[in-house]
Amino acid sequence: MRSIWISFSIFWLLVSLIGWGVYPERSRGATVEEIRSRIEDHSVEIKKLETQIESYQKELRTVEKTSKNLRNEIERLELTRQKLAADIKLTERQIGKTDLTIEELALAISDKNLTLNRRRAAVEESLRQWRQLQSQSFLELMLGYDHLSDAWTELAALAAFQRHLEQDIDAVAELKKDLETTKAATETERARLSVLKERLADQRQIAKDNQLEKDRLLNQTKNKEANYKKLLVDTVARKKDFEQELFQLESQLRIAVDLGKLPAAGRGVLRWPLASVYVTQQFGKTVDAKRLYASGTHNGIDLRAGTGTPVLAAESGTITGTGDTDLVCRGASYGKWILIDHGNGLSTLYAHLSLVKAAKGQATAIGEIIGYSGQTGYSTGPHLHFTVYATQGLRIDEYAFRSCSGVKVTLPLADLEAYLDPMLYL
């Protein structure tokens, strides 16, 4: 008589070999180790570049504190060029590291898919064998043995088989879950790679603009200190006249602002527009404001930020305007700017940017990169100017300024009551 126990034992041995990886799988160890070694090389270089960039930033802050003269300004532009070049190298290294991480994840997915397919096949074979064994009735099974003890042994083996089958099914489910997690990690890295590639293109554009600024300055001054001093005097005079006209225009707006429609002041209503925050000038009638502005009031806050620092949306919203006052009136106002309406009664302005990454009408998410800090417009050094408005009292339009030879300048204007202290909401 055929022994079911013998056939079962042979079958379970095969299932164990297939289901639990005793059969050799494709060897990936050396390749994975090589990839990990290269990832570590990139990590080491990234740390070195980060240290180098921080060193450039410290040098730039020192230069910016020195007196304004042509030599110092050329030195600042050259240090900025070197810092931007290091930024580009850093991003290239981050892209290389991310590429390798995706490659490593792809190998893991390939191996997990292979193992998963093998275990699925083992489970299917186990289920087929289980159905075959179950086709015999309890009575047929008992009568198929000469001794009752043999029948009970067979039943115990079948029970053990069922338990192992359940464990194998659980293992397949766990492996599938692990595979899905690895695939999700791959998608996250691909999204990161896309952001890094876009940032690299932005950094190259900022570096190009920095070189153009240096060339423009040398061309204007003919590399002579006297010419630079005259340029500074003319720029300060134009800026002063421009701000006086702007103050008069805003004083005449008379746009009613219902403060009751604004969100309650409190920390966290808005997010800081920079990853690293250092406030260099507060809102309102500060000591510097009385000296620097025709109104005697600073209409926002200034945040320390080297050229090329990513600027983040302080809250989700819609881009209601962008512009560059330098195109028609260099050095008199905001330079490159972005305005966002957050839909909660507040709007925010980001000014003196080196690069604008947003377009009018575009929806933006909180924390999204909308531009990069710089020193466009009237600025004594690279920084981010951040203003918060009551949206009701805000307008964007073209205005002709005598200080700019009557040329129309597009920028946001607001009733004086519409300017809010950003610190109330950050």
Give per-residue pLDDT as tens, 301-331: 999 999 999 999 999 999 999 999 999 999 9
Whole-number Å distance between alpha carbons of 389 and 397:
16
Phi and psi at 169, nearest 5°, equal: -65, -40
Question: Of the given ranges (37-46, 118-127, 197-206), which has the lowest mean pLDDT?
Answer: 118-127
- What's residue 146's pLDDT? 59
CA–CA distance, 418 with 251 (Å, rounded to integer): 11
Residue 22 has pLDDT above 60, yes or no: no
Instruction: Inform me whether the pLDDT recorded for 38 exceeds 60.
Output: yes
* Residue 317 phi, psi dihedral angles, 5° rounding: 170, -160
How would you class 19 by CB atoms within 10 Å of its CB: exposed for 0-12, middle for 13-18, buried for 19 or more? buried
Residue 279 has pLDDT above 90, yes or no: yes
The predicted pLDDT at position 1 comes to 39
Residue 267: DSSP 8-state? T
Among 62-71, 151-160, 260-269, 325-334, whose mean pLDDT is lowest? 151-160
Q: What pLDDT does residue 397 have? A: 87
Q: Is the predicted pLDDT of residue 197 greater than 70, yes or no? A: yes
Banded pLDDT at 144 (limits 50, 70, 90): low
Is the model's pLDDT at 293 over the cut of 90?
no
pLDDT at 9: 42
Q: How far is CA 398 from the centre of its chain?
A: 33
Rounded-to-integer distance, Cα 76 and Cα 374, Å: 13
What pLDDT is recorded for position 259?
Answer: 83
Whether the CB-CB separation of 83 and 56 falls below 8 Å is answered with: yes
Looking at per-residue pLDDT, the higher value among 192 and 15 belongs to: 192
Assigned fold of 224-424:
Glucose Permease (Domain IIA) (2.70.70)
pLDDT tens-digit readout, 43-75? 999 999 999 999 999 999 999 888 889 999 999
Write out the two tokens for 278: 């250092």
| pLDDT (tens digit per residue) in 86-138 | 999 999 999 999 999 998 888 888 887 787 777 777 667 666 666 665 565 55
pLDDT reported for residue 14:
40
| Whether pLDDT at 7 is above 50 | no
Model confidence at 178, pLDDT cuts 50, 70, 90, reads: confident
Report domain extents, the chain: 4-212, 224-424
**Structure confidence at residue 4 (pLDDT):** 43
Task: Record the tokens describing residue 338, joined without a space.
Answer: 């972005």
Encode 352-363: b = buried (16+ Cβ within 10 Å), e = exposed: bbbbbbbeeebe
Mean pLDDT of the chain: 84
Determine contact, residues 418/390, Cβ cutoff 8 Å: yes
> What is the rounded average pLDDT of the residues 384-411?
93
Percent of the chain topping pLDDT 70? 79
Closest by CA position to 420, among listed 345, 336, 339: 345
Q: Model's pTM, two decimal places?
A: 0.81
| Residue-level pLDDT at 145 | 59
Give the per-residue pLDDT at 420.
Answer: 95
CA distance 197 to 365: 20
What percent of the chain clears pLDDT 90, i.e. is strictly above it? 56
Residues in the chain: 426
Question: Residue 344: is its pLDDT beyond 80?
Answer: yes
Backbone angles phi, psi at 287, to 5 degrees: -60, -45
**How far apart, in whole angstroms, are the C-alpha atoms of residue 298 and residue 295?**
8
| Between 263 and 134, the higher pLDDT residue | 263
Residues 6 or more apart in contact with residue 93 via CB below 8 angstroms:
42, 45, 46, 49
* pLDDT reading at 2 higher than 70: no
Which range has the worst mean pLDDT, 251-255, 275-279, 334-338? 251-255
